[in-house]
Chains A and B, each alone.
Chain A
Amino acid sequence: MSPIPIRDTLGMLEDNLERRKSVLPVPRRRALGWTKGLDLPRGGERVLYTGQMFQIVPAINAMTDRLAKMEGSWMANYFGLARRLNRWVNLAGVMARGDPQEAREYSGFLRNIVSLLRRSGVEFGYLYEDDLYAGALAHDEGLDDALRAHAEVVFRNLRSHGVKEVITVDPHTTEMLREIYPKVLKGYDLKVRTYLEVLVERRPAPVQQLGTMVTVHDSCIYARREGVIEQPRELLRRGGVEIREVERSGRATQCCGGPIEMLFPERSSELATQRVGQLSQVSKQVVTLCPLCLANLRRVAPEDVKITDVSTYLAKAYCPSSPASPAADVSGAGTRAPADHGTPVEA
């Protein structure tokens, strides 16, 4: 058996989903802080849906670091107790306080996405506290009862705001809302597209050619389930980014190891190290399309390998930035790149 008890860890996630509507509840300030100053209208027929992935990942990072230290140690024995305590105290939340600088950077990715959509003339609202986690981890771990109950809450929320169309920002939420919800919910009829699919259609004009070279790490879900492979490449290329492909790219992409980081952190790191090795042989600048891939690959990447979210490059190429608040800093897109605290781009 794994030294991190599967039963108690999953039990904790399940309890959190039921009681706190997220596998890893983050404080409101952290879940919604990224919207500050953006004046996103509340609700509407078309909304941006983050599913809190970019907000939760810095917390998952912190939790994983702690679990990795715990693996094989005496502390792991206390998991059963922790699970019972967690019903009353939000233990996962307490254990998981993420690095604030990292959280700011992840907020910057969301702000970039808002700028890009506005720049492309897309109108949309936001659900604020009703922008709930979509339940991907519960689905993956086979916690079907918890997932169904949670999906009903998410769908009810969306319906109560009159939402008909959803723009997603990450592969996990996209898969849940586009493939899984229609299977588990009756009458589910939302149109779901990723912001990358929306942007490609709108063909925004770049404000500059970045003149740089990268390699792309495809997300398994985007590449093998959701057909999102060409869209980010087309947008990057139009923005003057040359793409050098790693052998395992597109449909043949290799997993970053992220999906098992909770239960098997060491295994997960080995996979990430292998993947970073493949990518960095092709380019020292790596573009990711998923916050979990980003976190997992970065954790093991050497200093000279710069990994960042695709929105960083796209914002720089397509959004005019004011001097005080650059839309993105690609040149410094390092392991802890400066975040975008920018004001919304006037589209």
Chain B
Amino acid sequence: MKVDPTLPDRLARTGGFNASACINCGSCTALCPLGMGPFPRQLFRYVLLGAREEVVRHTEEIYSCLLCKMCEDNCPAGVHIAENVRTLRTFLGREELGLATSEV
């Protein structure tokens, strides 16, 4: 697994991103109406590990999230789950999908 050690810091710089607060309890996964395996919890692990390719491999899950905050409302660690997912979209949009107003 290739590691991009700057990934967590770059995302954290956007302000709202706080995956490092996650205590990996699994409440979010249990409550998510999408029932996508270990999503979103595992995604935060990948980011913290700097496993960029793993994050990119989960593009579809990242864009599937409803941002409904069912998980976030019940997260014991105050993780901004929806904002974290949204920040990952911004990251994927810019660095993987070539989406940016200035790009086109």
Contact = CB atoms under 8 A, between A and B. Distances in A.
Interface stretch (A4-12, A45-53, A297-305): A4-12
Interface residues of B, number: 29
Range, interface on chain A: 20 to 34
A152 B99 CA distance: 20
B89 A14 contact: no
Contacts of B89: 141-142
Contact of B101 (A14, A140, A255): A14
Contacts of A11: 97, 99, 104
A130 interface: no
A68 interface: no
Contact of A6 (B33, B97, B100): B97
B55 interface: no
B85 to A, nearest CB: 9
Given A1-B60, A144-B90, A145-B100, A260 B73 contact: no
Contacts of A264: 63-64
A220 B70 contact: yes
Nearest to A139: B86
B68 to A, nearest CB: 4
Given A2-B60, A142-B86, A7 B70 contact: no
A220 B93 contact: no
A27 B65 CA distance: 31
A220 B69 contact: yes
A306 to B, nearest CB: 24
- The 6 A-B pairs at the shortest CB distance, nearest first, are namely A142-B89, A142-B90, A255-B68, A220-B68, A7-B97, A145-B101
Interface of A: 1-2, 6-7, 10-11, 14-15, 18, 87, 139-146, 149, 220, 224-225, 251-252, 254-255, 257, 259-260, 263-264, 267, 271, 274
Interface of B: 33-34, 59-60, 63-70, 72-73, 86-93, 97-102, 104
Given A7-B97, A142-B87, A259-B68, 7 more contacts: A14-B99, A142-B92, A144-B90, A224-B73, A251-B73, A255-B33, A264-B64
17 contacts: A6-B59, A10-B97, A140-B67, A142-B90, A143-B90, A143-B93, A143-B99, A144-B90, A145-B102, A146-B100, A224-B70, A255-B70, A259-B68, A260-B63, A263-B63, A263-B64, A264-B63
